[in-house]
Chain A
Amino acid sequence: VILVTTKKGQKGSKFGITINSNTTIDQVMFLPDFQNVYGQGSAGNAATSLADFTTASWGPKADGSSQLYFDGSQRAYIAQPDNVKDFFENGIKSINSISIDSSTENSTYRFSYTNNDTESILPGSRLSSHNFNLRGTSQLNDKLSIDTKVTFFSQDVTGKARTGGEGVVTTVFSVPRTVDMNDMKKYQMDNPSSPADYRNINWNKSGSNTANPYWMMLHDEDLENRERFFGFTKLNYEFTDWLSGFIRVGTDVTNTGLYTVRQAGHHWYPMGRIERRGNRSGELNSEFLLTAKQDLSEDVNMVLNVGGNMSRRTYSATYMYGEDFKIPSKPFFSNTNINRFTDTPQQIKKVNSLYGSANFAYDNWAYLDVSARNDWSSTLGADNRSYLYTSVNASVLLQDFIDPDRKVFDLFKVRASVANVGNDTGPYQLVQTFSVPGQGYLGLTTLSAPSTRLNPNLKPENIESTEFGLERSMFDNKLNFDLSLYDIKTTDLIFRVPVPAATGYSFFLENIGEVTNKGVELSLGGTVLNTGSITWNTSIYASKNENKLVSLIDDLSTLVYTTTNSGNLSVQAKVGGGIGDLYGTAWSKDDAGNHIVNDAGRPVATSPDQYLGNAQPDWLGGWSNSLSFGDVSVNFLIDARFGGQILSQVSSGADGNGTSERSLLYRESGVTLDAVTSSGAVNTASITGEEYWGSMSGIAENYIYSQSNVRLREFSVGYNLPIADALGADSVNLQLIGRNLFFFSKKADDIDPEAMLGTNIGGMGIASGNLPTTRSLGLNLTLKF
């Protein structure tokens, strides 16, 4: 259960206004190291005809000689060291908010509005959002009070960047070293007429499927809009001085619209395509809770809660798809030759819950909380839809026994808890069904067979956690220490398990075995200095989590989350192993440990079954500091990540293309690799640098980098301007904030090892065309009246 508490207006306080204005400039923090010696071409040659062009930079030395350029002109063949950098812009983010608090004798209200206008570092990409918030409380009579909140949020994103191997960043990074990025701004010929005229202009040969990044950002469309309404009303009633209760009804509705256009002539969809997606998800919760407080004796206090909730979640969606524009100059649906429409009528999921808890306190040093909750979910079959879960939480405060005089310990708390939580699934996961594809074949109806075997006997998931904690405050709260250890065991996880397709399905929907997470979190903080005018607070934290797939379903020992497009690496979990293990190709070796090449002298890769690391870090740590010198305050935060591996497709792509600095190796000389052929003979065949990197760039092992890094995550200086009185304000604070300023250390080439393909487990461990990490500098102004 997540309780969200927002700030209510403070009763009795005066009418107040806070204005906050924040402007930040984002810049690319760093880019991969590109070579600026050789130009576009292959096998050491620059193209001599337009049909010879490639996207690679394996040409001759960029010596300034006159060579054919991709646009057909003759140009000086010179390196363009900044051609990647030139594509990115300064991102400007501006966030302004105002909040108004007011209160009367019996009521409070708070209103706030936040406006966010952000321009990305990519051309044509921006976000704007508005957030309105209204919260009011009122004591209607001495027993009854009301609390209401309404939030409305709307957001528009244009030019939402495509990431990954076919995304815009991958395209920009692959620009040949002798191409001026500014020449790509013309992405289509003027006045196109034939379909071939509509084709994008790119730096590759005609007829290639190479993208133009300006086309992607400025000609194609990727729009996303989102509107969210959230609100509740709560009536609270004090029956007696020991019994109270409330009824609360809340709703949360989100509408999301996505609109994408790939214009005619697009590098992948030359006939053009258009998509519109609309999703609506809603949630309605009706809840009641009765709370009784009793002192069972002078030393024992008890609080009892009994409550219930009815949750109704809905989802509906529409999807329109069209391709092949009849008249290629304008993208709209009736202008497409092929189109289809998919409607997802409203899906409903209901969960009813009853719960109760009892909290006991003994003599203000020993505490015991017990709770129980039963859920009934519509997504599970009749035999499994009711499930009970419980928790016990105990804590003791021992400082009075250990250190009655408070010489050292202000607080010495030991806590322990055991809890389990049940969880259901989404709608329609029980009964096997078939869908009718919109198009059929030759006008005949066809049926799609399900790729997932559903399961009428799905059980609820069970998450069991045991936690132990120790909290200490010492020397007048100058030194704080907090340690917690946890062991979370998830069983019966509802999961689409990939199975051999020979079973007749690609996935079985099953309650799968057991996943464990064990970890430790530690923080140590305190006041280093406090002289009145100067204070310095510091804290260090560290955490470690280890997870393990203990068992899957019978006969299966591997879960694959993601496989790279080339198939050279996958992110997996294996029974007995960690979640997020990376398996991929390596350079083959014989039994004696010699590398193997083929008869032409090129490295031979293994099957993609070599263990290459794990996508999850060993430790995370941080050190935060806040110093104040009178009206000046300084904060900084250093973040650290130790261990964990990541595949850099950014680096392998640049090596294969000959754009990386690494790819200068063997350019002129070629190399006869110290290796043996498959027959065991010593290799005598020489290969070119292009061939060497062509082979090496396909081998995953070469691009597995450590995620370890230490960075200055944030640094800020604030100043309380002495002009508050002059403005009639309570305070005026100006703050300069810098984020991602620099790395103290980073092991990975080319990439920010924390910028991964995705945040879920399948996207971890792979860096591919992520937006470059930005360094930002911002100014924040807060006025309080």
Chain B
Amino acid sequence: MKKTLLYLAFGFLFTFSACTDDFDEINENPTALTAKDVSAKFFVTSAQQNFFGPNRYPYWRGPIIHVDRFSGHTAFGYKSNWWSDGLGYTYHAGYTGAVYGYMEGYNSTLNAYTNFVKPGGTLENDKYYAIALIMKGLYYQKYADTFGAAPYTEASDPDITTPKFDSVQTIYEGVIAELDEAIALIGDATTTGEGPQLLGENDLFFNGDMQKWKQLANSLKLKMALRGHGGNGADYSAHVASALSGGILANDNALMARDTEITTWVSAVYGDVWGPFYGGGNWHLTKTLIDALRDNNDPRLSKYAKPSKGGTIEWAKPAEGTRVALFDKHVSYLTGILDSAGATYTKTSDGAGGYTITMPENTNYIGQPTRLNGEIKPLLDRKLWSEPADIVVNQHNSGKPIFPFVVMTAAESHFMIAEAITKGLASGDAQNHYQTAIRHAMQLWDVAGGDIDTYLANEDMAKLNGSTDQNLEKIATQRWMALFTNGFEAWAVVRDTGYPTELSAGVSDDDIFVLGDLNGAYPQRMRYGSGPYNTNAANVEAAASVQGPDRQGTKLWWAK
């Protein structure tokens, strides 16, 4: 027994040397893939989906709560809404932070992909690398246009933990150079390669067609060059010219189809917020948008919007509180809105100081004014206002189609050319590009060809027939209308051009509107989230000293 135990003890000791042999093997994760297991094409899908079709958290707080409303396309604050339409115009740290977190956090997806395919990467391939550079361009353009200065030149460098913030202009110029690099890498190639190198259906935009990627690169370059031109005296006319000669996205759209069956926690659609909450967090189309469509006989009106539900609407006069004194002013303001919309309705006294509005059902197209305050909110019955069309707000798993995510359209390309020509930065027939743009924009929404022809032939809004400024206003307004469902871009157009002026002028009467942190001014950027203040404070503070304080009212370098 004694010996047995001693042997056991010493046996134990001796086995120690052998015991670490399996350590490396057991420390390898069987359910995760290493670099040798993966193909670059899977990253392309992730890079596209994560950015343009994120999950519900940033999708709700980004497009739905902030930029679609900042763009002046949608409004909150109807009677039974969770929020007044001041939300977002009054800074909300949590909601804004979520958008910043998404924007900043996307870099991990892009960085992982880029590291694989860049020169020297495990899956090195110059065509995939060109796609990475174009995705990077799309990313930084949206990032900088939304928040302003951002880490760019020092970002994604494994040796730099706290990258500095670069100015929007530095980012624009850097992106344009990288787009040139991508365009050169693509050259005449039509595919990313053969066999395992072939991209194909994993490319959600173009099915792997590299020439279309090249066109997208040129369109993006044109957008940034036009937007940045003139800011700080920058002369980007050469970029405009080279983008045009390189060939823009003239006949195709960069769209990303919605996965109608996926869970909202991977990729959200508007319907995921619109549908399941029984109306508490819904939204209406704005007066500005509906007016622009309705007043110009635009065939997209019924494609974008539904007529107001109508019926009987009670405007009860409150008995107590601060709203009593404002009631008559609110009623007169709202009847003015109904009248200006040419709505059919009757208004009768309810005998208690209030009114009953009776309106035919599903007849009037009435947009809700933006930025209305909480005091007028009880009068903003849902039955008054136009809702978005079903195709915009259909839910996942409903078996119904959902309008795709819009990345870049042929319409936008032609609007930009028309703008470049009108500004003297390019030559050609501005009117022709303008009408081509409108035609593409309408086709995207399945407007019948004959209706498009009628619109183009008859409507003043379809013709560049005024002064330079009037023509630029029309181009900007049409472009803004065409960007419906792409709030990030539509908001940038308003800030860049100042059109529609109804939006850019802001609001001032605090009896009716929420002035918020902006004191009524139009929002010019979103504030940074807490992330950089926590992890990169010195650099984010340095950014403020260059571009101005970290406030929503601080204008970006290119803004009008």
Contact = CB atoms under 8 A, between A and B. Distances in A.
Interface of A: 42-45, 48-49, 51-52, 60, 143-144, 196, 199, 205-209, 235, 237, 239, 245, 247, 270-271, 286, 288, 290, 308, 310, 323-324, 337-338, 340, 343-345, 347-350, 352, 354, 376-379, 382, 385, 427-428, 430-437, 439-442, 444-451, 498-506, 508, 553-558, 560, 563-568, 570, 572, 585, 598-600, 604, 607-609, 688
A501 B397 contact: no
Q: Which 10 A-B pairs have the closest CB atoms?
A: A44-B321, A567-B93, A504-B111, A433-B32, A449-B112, A502-B151, A207-B278, A207-B279, A378-B23, A51-B80
A435 B33 contact: yes
Given A45-B319, A270-B278, A500-B151, A434 B33 contact: yes
Interface in B245-279: 257, 259, 261-263, 266-267, 276-279
A349 B23 CA distance: 8
Contacts of A504: 107-108, 110-112, 115, 155-156, 158
A555 B161 CA distance: 6
Interface in B16-43: 16, 19-20, 22-24, 26-35, 37-38, 42-43
Contacts of B30: 345
Contacts of A45: 318-321, 323, 378
B545 interface: no
A556 B161 contact: yes
Contacts of A566: 92-94
A442 B204 contact: yes
A128 to B, nearest CB: 34
Contact of B112 (A434, A563, A585): A434
Given A324-B397, A502-B155, A427 B27 contact: yes
Given A270-B277, A608-B93, A441 B156 contact: no
Contacts of A447: 33, 38, 42-43, 46, 112
A199 B278 contact: yes
A441 B49 contact: yes
B523 interface: no
Nearest to A199: B278
Given A504-B156, A607-B550, 15 more contacts: A43-B321, A45-B323, A52-B79, A60-B321, A247-B5, A270-B278, A288-B8, A352-B19, A378-B26, A433-B33, A441-B267, A445-B202, A450-B108, A568-B93, A608-B93
Contacts of A354: 13, 16
B354 to A, nearest CB: 10
Interface stretch (B433-441, B443-451, B532-540): B532-540
Given A323-B263, A436-B33, A567-B530, A385 B322 contact: no
B311 interface: no
B162 interface: yes
Nearest to B106: A501
A448 B319 contact: no
A143 B396 CA distance: 74
Given A208-B82, A288-B8, A308-B13, A143 B105 contact: no
Nearest to A240: B2
Contact of B2 (A143, A558, A564): A143
Nearest to B326: A43
B322 A43 contact: yes
Given A449-B112, A502-B155, A508-B161, A385 B20 contact: yes
B97 interface: yes
A288 B9 contact: yes
Nearest to B550: A607
- Of B34, B43, B201, B322, the most chain A CB neighbours within 10 A belong to B322
Contacts of B157: 503
B517 interface: yes
Contact of B45 (A348, A446, A450): A446
Contact of B276 (A237, A271, A428, A506): A271
Contact of B80 (A205, A271, A348, A599): A205
B519 A599 contact: yes
13 contacts: A206-B279, A237-B2, A270-B278, A288-B9, A337-B397, A349-B26, A430-B27, A441-B46, A441-B267, A447-B33, A447-B38, A449-B111, A504-B108
Interface in B277-315: 277-281, 314
A599 B321 contact: no
A342 to B, nearest CB: 9
Contacts of B6: 239, 245
Contacts of A199: 278
B533 A607 contact: yes
Contacts of B82: 208-209
Contacts of B397: 324, 337-338
Contacts of A440: 45
B8 A247 contact: yes
A505 B537 contact: no
Contacts of A378: 20, 22-24, 26-27
B202 A444 contact: yes
A499 B158 CA distance: 12
B162 A556 contact: yes
Contacts of B53: 441
A300 B8 CA distance: 32
B494 interface: no
B266 A503 contact: no
B517 A598 contact: yes
Contact of B105 (A379, A431, A501, A608): A501
Contact of A209 (B80, B151, B280, B550): B280
A245 B6 CA distance: 9
B401 interface: no
Contact of B374 (A43, A498, A503): A43
A503 B156 contact: yes
Given A500-B532, A556-B535, A566-B93, A446 B42 contact: yes
Nearest to A452: B108
B93 A308 contact: no
B407 interface: no
Contacts of A570: 530, 534
A55 to B, nearest CB: 10
A143 B2 CA distance: 9
B515 A598 contact: yes
B277 A427 contact: no
B46 to A, nearest CB: 4
Contacts of B381: 51
A154 B111 CA distance: 47
A563 B530 contact: yes
A205 to B, nearest CB: 5
B31 A345 contact: yes
Contact of A385 (B23, B156, B281, B375): B23
Contacts of B375: 43
A617 B36 CA distance: 51
B34 A433 contact: yes
A560 B110 CA distance: 25
A49 B535 contact: no
A449 B109 contact: yes
B510 interface: yes
A598 B520 CA distance: 11
B80 A207 contact: yes
Contacts of A60: 320-321
Contacts of B135: none
Contacts of B105: 451, 501, 506
A593 to B, nearest CB: 20
A505 B397 CA distance: 33
A712 B151 CA distance: 55
B17 to A, nearest CB: 10
A427 B16 contact: no
A439 B266 contact: yes
Contacts of B204: 441-442, 444
B416 interface: no
A585 B93 CA distance: 10
Given A207-B80, A500-B162, A428 B27 contact: yes
B27 A501 contact: no
B76 interface: no
